């Protein structure tokens, strides 16, 4: 059974902020994250049946979001160097007043995503590994690296 308009509207209201945050943590761009939110909900419209549970729905939406972000990265890699948009050479140094969110923005996208899913969405390492399609040991290593990087940035 397809999702009703009311069910889709509820999903949008409940999960659009989460999808945006996950996409932004991957892409670092407001516009790109907003596009990903739209793309994810377009995918929801094509669902043939409603998800099994709320937990399953949330995990599926995160997985679709991460996959869409990967698609965007792949597309950017295919752009030749001449056509590539100009990007900042590096981030500004972290000052003493920098908060955790700003420090996370300076991390590589893979580390940001793992850190975000672990601390903000409160998923375990096994669940994150399944969502991202990577080994649990990679998640554990990424969390360790992200914590060290975050500590170094915040300590200055």
> What span, in angstroms and rounded, lies between the C-alpha atoms of 109 and 3?
32
23 exposed, middle or buried (CB, 10 Å; 0-12, 13-18, 19+)? buried
Q: In this structure, is the dihedral angle defined by the CA atoms of residues 89, 67, 131 and 54, taken in order, positive or negative?
A: positive
User: Hey, what are 104's tokens?
Assistant: 């996370």
Task: Determine if the pTM surpasses 0.85.
Answer: no
- Residue 91 is given by DSSP the state P
The pLDDT of residue 130: 86
Can you tell me the mean pLDDT for 7-14? Answer: 86
Confidence grade of residue 1 (pLDDT, cut at 50, 70, 90): low
pLDDT of 98 higher than 70:
no
Q: Model confidence over 131-142: pLDDT tens digits?
A: 888 899 999 999
CB neighbour burial string for 50-85, b if at least 16 within 10 angstroms, e if fewer: ebeeeeebbbbbbbbbbbbbeebeeeeeeeeeeeee
The pLDDT of residue 143: 92
Q: Model confidence over 15-29: pLDDT tens digits?
A: 999 999 888 888 888
**Which domains can be identified in the chain, with CATH numbers?**
1-82 (1.10.1740.10), 92-156 (1.10.10.10)
The pLDDT of residue 141: 94
The pLDDT of residue 142: 92
Q: How many H helices and E strands in the chain?
A: 7, 0
């Amino acid at each position: 059974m397809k999702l009703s308009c009311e069910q889709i509207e509820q999903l949008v209201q409940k999960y659009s902020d989460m999808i945006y945050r996950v996409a932004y943590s991957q892409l670092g761009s407001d516009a790109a994250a907003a596009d990903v939110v739209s793309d994810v909900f377009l995918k929801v419209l094509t669902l043939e049946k409603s998800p099994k549970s709320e937990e399953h729905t949330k995990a599926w939406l995160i997985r679709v979001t991460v996959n869409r972000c990967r698609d965007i990265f792949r597309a950017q890699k295919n752009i030749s160097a001449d056509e590539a948009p100009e990007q900042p050479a590096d981030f500004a140094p972290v000052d003493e007043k920098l908060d955790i969110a700003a420090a996370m923005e300076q991390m590589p996208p893979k580390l940001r995503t793992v850190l975000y899913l672990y601390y903000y969405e409160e998923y375990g390492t096994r669940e994150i590994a399944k969502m991202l399609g990577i080994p649990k040991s990679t998640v554990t290593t990424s969390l360790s690296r992200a914590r060290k990087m975050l500590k170094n940035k915040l300590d200055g």
